[in-house]
Structure 1
Amino acid sequence: MKRSRRWLSLAGSRRLIVSLTLVWLMLMLGWLAARSDGVGGRPLVIVWGADPGSYDPQQTSNPVAQDVFRHVCQPLFYEDEGGAVRGLLAEDGFQYSDDGRRLSIQLRPDITFHDGAALTAEVVQSSFERLQRLSVSPLLADLRGVAVTAQPDGRTVLFDLPSPDFDFVRLVLANPYAAIVSPLTQETNGPGFVACTGPYQFAASLYRPGHSLTLVRFADYRWPPALFANRSAPRIA
């Protein structure tokens, strides 16, 4: 399908324009500058007041960046419309030790990143270790002293906490800033166009600093939140 792009001319204004070829979370985007109807139509255009400069969820604390990267990158869990914690990259449910200091989660199978890398327990471990090492994330204090360990089965991840914390999943693992980043792009610099697992991916070649950023549909996306009727790649353009 041929992709179309639309850019807004904003003389005398420094605004960032984000163009999505297809839209995923229409419910969460009440601040849309424009939209189109049907499949294969014109792109959605979103306007912000500034370009945050980095869109890597582990290298920014900028809320504008979060509004963009949450369409590209996903955490292990999310809160549904009723406030319940549900699995996104992880299976529903998780297990705490009796003392609340060890958390065990299980990853969903057959999830891949935009660059083709598979989601495994080892990848989750390296992603959290990178977040801790970079020392930029607003989650840094919550992850201080937390040890993340991949288990031999490739799908189980243990989180050893420095003190009991039964809200760790809701407050940390369901946070957009805890999104899992592909091991193949963890060394990225500049604007931080990492590969993740979300329904859209960064189009780095179309990025115009301070002016526009384009996200393109991830055609292989098959793991949306349970509340979505569409179980495959996004269909609205």
Structure 2
Amino acid sequence: MQKSRGRLAAVIAGAAVITLALGACAQSERDDTGGTSGDGGDAAVDTTFVFAASSDPATLDPAFAQDGETFRVARQIFEGLVGTEPGTADPAPLLAESWETSEDGLSTVFQLKEGVTFHDGEPFNAEAVCANFDRWYDWEGLAASEALGYYYYKLYKGYASDPSKAVYESCEADGDYSVTINLAKPFAGFVPSLSLPAFSMQSPKALEEFGADDVGGTAEAPTMSEYGEGHPVGTGPFKFESWSPGENVTLVSNEDYWGDKGQIEEIIFRVIDDPTARRQALESGSIDGYDLVGPADSKALEDAGYKMVSRPPFTILYLAFNQAVPELQDPKVREALSYAIDKDALISQVLPEGTQKATQFMPPVVNGYNDDVTTYDYDPEKAKALLAEAGYTEANPLQLEFNYPVNVSRPYMPDPEQIFTVLSTQLAEVGVQTTPVSNEWVDYLDLTTGTPNHGIHLLGWTGDYNDTDNFVGVFFGQESSEWGFNNPELFAALDEARGIADLDEQTALYQDINEQVALFIPGVPLAHPAPTLAFSDRVESFPASPVNDEVFSEIVLTK
């Protein structure tokens, strides 16, 4: 049965629906696309909700996605077997009403919700579930790569073409509304992982009709299928209407939705990549809200009467060392770079209020956090000494490429360019020369996670569900283009830990793993930022979630 992780729930329980006591804000000056509902008078509500996205979705097929803006859109269109408990990262029933896992952890029987249809009218049933699981397992080529099928690659390890590596084994329909998923290896995070949008249930008919797996290009520049460009079909409360890349994505209410459809009849995700422009759009009334409020804007908006909503930190921002770069293979160099970073200065200068300093690659509320982990506190003189021991001096300085994204904000990285500026300055102070290399977000992800052709770089993570493997397991569970190292001892330890069902035993293993990671120094865990949202005065409540599991049918509007 589903297992709750009480430590996290105790910290962030009750954050699901936050009633916003908003002050006086600018009157809406919206486009003429909005409608009204109700009987008139104070019941009339503009049923178009405009939300500013920091970038386009990478694709409309969440199975081939790994970023927050893609998943924000996907969560409105698609649903998985498993959701999350409101205000937490713990698993909860969604398209599966209940489940039972065998004692050995290798088989889980899901009882499915009845009477659910996909947006194209096709029935959601056990056969559809198996079609989705088998689709992922049968991927080949680019689809089966870290660059494209990121989450399946990271969590389920292998495919039908090489079942010796695979975690998934088979799916059996036990009737229309009961389905058994069999695993080849124990995976304690299996059920929680199904809350990820990457494992949403999609219409098998639409997947086939629009060639969902006909992806092309290269790892550096993959191309979407016809399905991923404009034909996503799920069971969620909103249906896809249109996508104008660089401008907006429009969704409309699913009139046949099995649950509460809510007030909103149309969602417009308006792409505004600049944080200042997003703030100005809110102030002008052309949008209803936005995420990833810049630290410098929070106080000004709050003073003007806008309500700022901060999610509980369930994030990690890090500086990664790509060991495909020869200089970074030297542990003294990695240690020196760690001592060169002043995390306190970074947080105070450019990260939002409520940000916590990081000592390891997951937040303190996750099981397995090690309070006694080895740290590398800011010590520029020690950094210089280690660099000298590694052979780098003023006459022969260490030179590295420093990759960072531009024109994007992320929950763990609200302003990448500011973060890059602070960190590159700190590195320069100990004699490290960095060459800046910047890319737009989608290209940046393809470069840093899909190829070895990068240097030190900024990335991070918002936890997807409450399981330790979702942090350190995703980062360091196997060889990766992002990190560029082969550490069989670490891989084996993580593989063992992810299959342990006993929580106390598993927690102790993860504490040891966090120390092992700290001594290996794959990068510098920098901070746990607290992402902030801002809304107009017509938004009474918003279902804030630490894992961004926010479905807009749950928003309450007053006008």
Q: Shorter-normalised TM-score: what interval?
A: 0.7 to 0.9
> Shift in Å at residue 38 of structure 1?
6.4
Q: Greater RCO between the two (CA within 8 Å, min separation 6)?
A: 1
For 1:177, what is the secondary structure of its paired residue?
A: helix
**2:47–2:263: 8 Å Cα contact kept in structure 1?**
no
Q: Assess, with a 3 A threshold, how the Cα gap between structure 1 residues 221 and 46 changes in structure 2: closer, same or farther.
A: same
Query: Does 2:109 match 1:104?
Result: yes
One-letter amino acid matched to 1:138: Y
Matches of 1:148 and 1:64, distance apart in 2: 31
Matches of 1:47 and 1:193, distance apart in 2: 22
Q: Which residue of 1 aligns with 2:96?
A: 90
1:46-65 correspondence runs (5 A):
46-65=51-70
Matches of 1:154 and 1:177, distance apart in 2: 23
1:61-140 correspondence runs (5 A):
61-81=66-86, 83=88, 84-92=90-98, 94-132=99-137, 133=139, 134-135=143-144, 136-140=148-152
Deviations 1:130-168 (A, max 9, x none): 233132333213223202313241222222112222321
Matches of 2:87 and 2:261, distance apart in 1: 24
**1:148–1:157: 8 Å Cα contact kept in structure 2?**
no
Matches of 1:96 and 1:42, distance apart in 2: 42
Q: Which residue of 1 aligns with 2:183?
A: 161
> Shift in Å at residue 75 of structure 1?
0.8
> Shift in Å at residue 199 of structure 1?
0.2
Deviations 1:50-100 (A, max 9, x none): 2234111112223211111111101111121264422110113x1111211
Q: Which residue of 2 aligns with 1:147?
A: 169
Which TM-score applies when normalising by structure 1?
0.73
Matches of 1:130 and 1:85, distance apart in 2: 23
Q: Which residue of 2 aligns with 1:236?
A: 264
For 2:131, what is the secondary structure of its paired residue?
A: helix
**2:239–2:254: 8 Å Cα contact kept in structure 1?**
yes
One-letter amino acid matched to 1:236: I
Deviations 1:178-237 (A, max 9, x none): 100001211242415311000001003xx22221110000011123xxxxxxxx322235
| Percent of residue pairs bearing the same amino acid type | 26
Query: Does 2:249 match 1:213?
Result: yes
Deviations 1:29-60 (A, max 9, x none): x9xxx898963625111122322341111122
Query: Does 2:53 match 1:41?
Result: no
**1:149–1:157: 8 Å Cα contact kept in structure 2?**
yes
Query: Does 2:202 match 1:202?
Result: no
Q: Which residue of 1 aligns with 2:201?
A: 180
Q: Which residue of 2 aligns with 1:13?
A: none
**2:82–2:194: 8 Å Cα contact kept in structure 1?**
yes
Matches of 2:58 and 2:124, distance apart in 1: 27
Matches of 1:236 and 1:208, distance apart in 2: 21
**1:75–1:175: 8 Å Cα contact kept in structure 2?**
yes
**1:37–1:236: 8 Å Cα contact kept in structure 2?**
no
Cα RMSD over matched residues? Answer: 2.6
Q: Assess, with a 3 A threshold, how the Cα gap between structure 1 residues 147 and 192 changes in structure 2: closer, same or farther.
A: farther
For 2:250, what is the secondary structure of its paired residue?
A: strand
One-letter amino acid matched to 1:214: T
Matches of 1:41 and 1:82, distance apart in 2: 27
| Structure with more of its chain in helix, by fraction | 2
Q: Which moved more, 1:34-43 or 1:133-142?
A: 34-43
**2:107–2:180: 8 Å Cα contact kept in structure 1?**
yes
Matches of 1:82 and 1:27, distance apart in 2: 7
Which TM-score applies when normalising by structure 2?
0.33
Matches of 1:95 and 1:75, distance apart in 2: 17
**2:77–2:238: 8 Å Cα contact kept in structure 1?**
yes
Q: Which moved more, 1:214-223 or 1:141-150?
A: 141-150
Matches of 2:79 and 2:132, distance apart in 1: 12
Matches of 1:124 and 1:159, distance apart in 2: 9
**Where do 5+ consecutive residues of structure 1 fail to align?**
1-25, 224-231
Q: Which residue of 1 aligns with 2:304?
A: none
Matches of 2:128 and 2:170, distance apart in 1: 11
Matches of 2:136 and 2:56, distance apart in 1: 22
Q: Runs of 4+ in structure 1 displaced over 6 angstroms?
A: 34-38
Q: Assess, with a 3 A threshold, how the Cα gap between structure 1 residues 115 and 217 changes in structure 2: closer, same or farther.
A: same
Which of structures 1 and 2 has the bigger CA Rg? 2
Q: Assess, with a 3 A threshold, how the Cα gap between structure 1 residues 109 and 155 changes in structure 2: closer, same or farther.
A: same
Matches of 2:126 and 2:66, distance apart in 1: 25
One-letter amino acid matched to 1:85: P
**2:253–2:264: 8 Å Cα contact kept in structure 1?**
no
